[in-house]
């Protein structure tokens, strides 16, 4: 069986559309169509339902997908084995919270460029749910997530760092000048801008606020750290974020620390698919990440 057909098949399964698959594979859409029809003819089954909204795997297609990924992984291993003595090269696609893109990862990428200049790293800003889906679909090689240990049947995760959390508000907010440890009851009377649901520390903080008897805090959720910081700097409420994401704003006086109860550090975990083979470029990125955070 031609592995090019399997590559087209798995890409179409992941993207869900002939146009998107063609763009990713740098093929004409008609070529993608021919590849899928050829594969369906060879196997004697229909692999996709063609719908107005895109291409959806049939039951036969779902059965083929796991085996096709195994075959392509095996081919990648063989190619990497033949090139073991050469320079590590290739593309690594990493899903990561937006905050880490701007704070922690530039130094990691700079270090990797020095040691392995032929490795290209593509960062994809994504929340936890999108990271998990990306790893499962094969769209992502690795993902970084703010969360404590959590079991996924098809993913492995390992802690690579812990980050301190800080409660911040605008400099003129009353809690910025509090001369006592602000209680949960006081916090529950405020407005908050938090990251989207699925962010472990934001969800835990929201649960703490809502657990206060009779509490009715105003909670607004965003997918963007920039949007959260801007709303808080404008005096519209407070937020809880990793200190690294607000360090510059605190120094410049655009934000101020608010008095409040102590918050536990949040774990940064590196996740990958349990069954998929990791290419040398992926392994080197993971090593550089651990080296950087362990320094």
Q: Where are the domains positioned within the chain? A: 3-82, 90-162+267-294, 165-264
Looking at domain 3-82, which of 3.30.70.100, 3.30.465.10, 3.40.50.300, 1.10.10.10 is its CATH number? 1.10.10.10
Residue-by-residue pLDDT tens, the chain, 295 positions: 788 888 899 889 888 899 988 988 889 999 999 999 999 999 999 999 988 888 999 999 988 987 887 787 777 667 666 655 567 778 889 998 887 877 788 888 998 888 888 888 988 888 888 888 888 877 889 999 887 767 788 888 888 888 899 999 999 898 887 777 888 998 999 999 998 887 888 999 999 999 999 888 899 998 888 899 999 999 999 999 999 889 999 999 999 999 778 888 988 889 998 877 778 888 889 988 888 876 5
Residues 11 and 284: their CA atoms lie apart, in Å, by 25
Is the torsion defined by CA of 178, 184, 188, 189 positive or negative?
negative
> Using CA atoms, how far apart are residues 197 and 187, in angstroms rounded to an integer?
20
Looking at residue 181, its pLDDT comes to 81
pLDDT for 294 equals 65
Query: Which SS3 state, helix, strand or coil, does residue 285 take?
Result: helix
pLDDT for the residue numbered 232: 95
Instruction: Give me the CATH topology for the region 165-264.
Output: D-Maltodextrin-Binding Protein; domain 2 (3.40.190)
Nearest of 179, 154, 164, 177 to residue 271 by alpha carbon: 154
Q: DSSP label at 238?
A: B
pLDDT of res. 237? 94
- Res 179: pLDDT: 77
Question: So what's the pLDDT on residue 213?
Answer: 92
Report the CATH architecture of 90-162+267-294: 3-Layer(aba) Sandwich (3.40)
Q: Which of 100, 62, 60, 75 is nearest to 195 (CA)?
A: 100
CA distances from 70 to 10, 37, 125, 280 (A): 11, 21, 27, 17
22 token code pair: 């063609």
Compute the distance between CA of residue 122 and CA of residue 85 in angstroms, rounded to an integer: 25
φ, ψ dihedrals at 4, nearest 5°: -65, -35
Do the domains 3-82 and 90-162+267-294 sit in the same CATH topology, yes or no?
no
Bridge-partner residues for 166, per DSSP?
241
Closest CA to 121 of 136, 104, 102, 141: 141
**Cα–Cα dist 153/132, whole Å:** 11
């Amino acid at each position: 069986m031609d592995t090019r057909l399997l590559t087209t098949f798995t890409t179409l399964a992941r993207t869900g559309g002939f146009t998107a698959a063609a763009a990713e594979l740098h093929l004409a859409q008609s070529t993608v169509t021919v590849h899928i029809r050829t594969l369906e003819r060879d196997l004697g089954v229909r692999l996709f339902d063609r719908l107005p909204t895109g291409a959806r795997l049939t039951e036969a297609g779902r059965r083929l997908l796991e085996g096709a990924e195994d075959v392509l992984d095996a081919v990648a291993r063989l190619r990497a084995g033949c090139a073991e003595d050469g320079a590590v090269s290739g593309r690594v696609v990493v899903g990561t919270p937006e905050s880490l893109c701007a704070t922690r990862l530039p130094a990691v990428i700079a270090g990797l460029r020095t040691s392995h200049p032929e490795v290209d790293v593509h960062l994809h800003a994504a929340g936890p749910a999108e990271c998990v889906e990306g790893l499962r679909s094969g769209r992502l090689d690795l993902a970084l997530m703010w969360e404590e240990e959590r079991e996924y049947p098809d993913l492995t995760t390992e802690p690579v760092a812990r980050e301190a959390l800080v409660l911040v508000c605008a400099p003129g907010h009353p809690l910025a000048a509090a001369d006592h440890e602000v209680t949960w009851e006081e916090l529950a009377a405020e407005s908050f801008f938090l990251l989207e649901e699925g962010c472990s520390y934001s969800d835990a903080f929201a649960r703490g606020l809502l657990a206060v008897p009779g509490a009715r805090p105003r909670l607004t959720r965003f997918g963007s750290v920039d949007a959260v910081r801007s709303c808080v700097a404008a005096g519209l409420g407070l937020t809880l974020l990793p200190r690294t994401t607000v360090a510059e704003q605190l120094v410049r006086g655009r934000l101020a620390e608010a008095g409040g109860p102590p918050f536990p550090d949040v774990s940064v975990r590196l996740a990958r698919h349990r069954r998929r083979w990791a290419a040398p470029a992926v392994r080197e990125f993971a090593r550089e990440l651990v080296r950087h955070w362990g320094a």
